[in-house]
Amino acid sequence: MAEQPRNGKVTVVGAGFYGSTTALRLAEYDVFETVVLTDIVEGKPEGLALDINQSRPIEGFETRVVGVGGGSYEGTEGSDVVVITAGLPRKPGMSRMDLIETNAKIVRQVAENVAQSSPDAVVIVVSNPLDEMTALAQLATGFPKERVMGQAGMLDTARFSNNVAEELGVPVSSVRTLTLGSHGDTMVPVPSRCTVDGKPLADVLAADRIEHLVQRTRNGGAEVVALLKTGSAYYAPSAAAARMARAVMEDSGAVMPVCAWVDGEYGIAGVYLGVEAEIGRQGVRRVVEGDLTESELAGLREAAEAVRAKQADVAEL
């Protein structure tokens, strides 16, 4: 069999649980030439990269992982995609917004370094609070807005789908769900676009149970944080970020729920918000508008205004 081609370089900034798991997933796809893992801690990304590389003969992938410690961006130059995971995770009882001031300083510094070392990269932000940090990363890089997006809707939608599958005792592959809005209190799960085996969710689940699952989805991150006691979720979030990075590199045109710049869609303009978008080599090709009920549309517009106020504040941090 002919060996498959591997192309491009993906850098993951932050070698915590989220970043290192994202690097592993990207490497195991075996479609990239190089995955670079960088962190301010000396030795940690190098050690993780060595460990991942030593798994290649077992798992059968050739993508090479490079670790860069000490806050250096040497070796990341010319990255096609950069995933920013840097920042503090939540602790039990904390909201994502509690992290805003601390993580803003970190994300701004990272984004400025990325702009210098990889001026043509597509940036995927996963640091919390997500919507605000995505807006800040775009300001700090100065990149076109379509080349900076955030990972939120992919994760929240996956949580919603898993919740529905567990509630009904059906395979997750039979469930289709969607969440829009912010990655936080104004998240907008979209039951009208959800199906189980092609049937509308409302036909197979009572309204009160749907609302219960919507609330559980909205609180999905906090539920994990409360159980872990230290740290926050990283298996499902890393899967979401890695899929987005792959869609960019493969110029796939896949439609995914992401945090993207909205400029007139749904009657909303001038804000980063969770919407469906077509993803390609230059980032967000276009925002995809879908049918929403009046209450869902109202929720999305409410989310936009809540996020808009915070994104204005974050520009000063």
160 known ligand binder:
no
253 known ligand binder:
no
251 known ligand binder:
no
113 known ligand binder:
no
Phi, psi (deg, nearest 5) at residue 263? -135, 65
107 known ligand binder:
no
Phi, psi (deg, nearest 5) at residue 155? -70, -50
Contact by Cβ (8 Å): 86, 13: yes
Angular region, 161: left φ>0, alpha ψ -120 to 50, beta rest: alpha
Question: Active site includes 212?
Answer: no
Q: Determine what percent of the chain falls in helix, strand and coil, rounding each to the nearest 5.
A: 45, 20, 30
Set 183, 193, 218, 243: catalytic member: 183
Q: From CA 188, how far away is CA 156, in angstroms rounded?
A: 10
15 known ligand binder:
yes
Q: Nearest to residue 20, comparing CAs of 8, 37, 43, 1?
A: 37
162 known ligand binder:
no
SS3 of residue 305 by DSSP: helix
25 known ligand binder:
no
270 known ligand binder:
no
Binding-site entries: 14-19, 39, 90, 96, 103, 126-128, 159
- Catalytic positions: 183
Binding-site entries for NAD(+): 14-19, 39, 103, 126-128
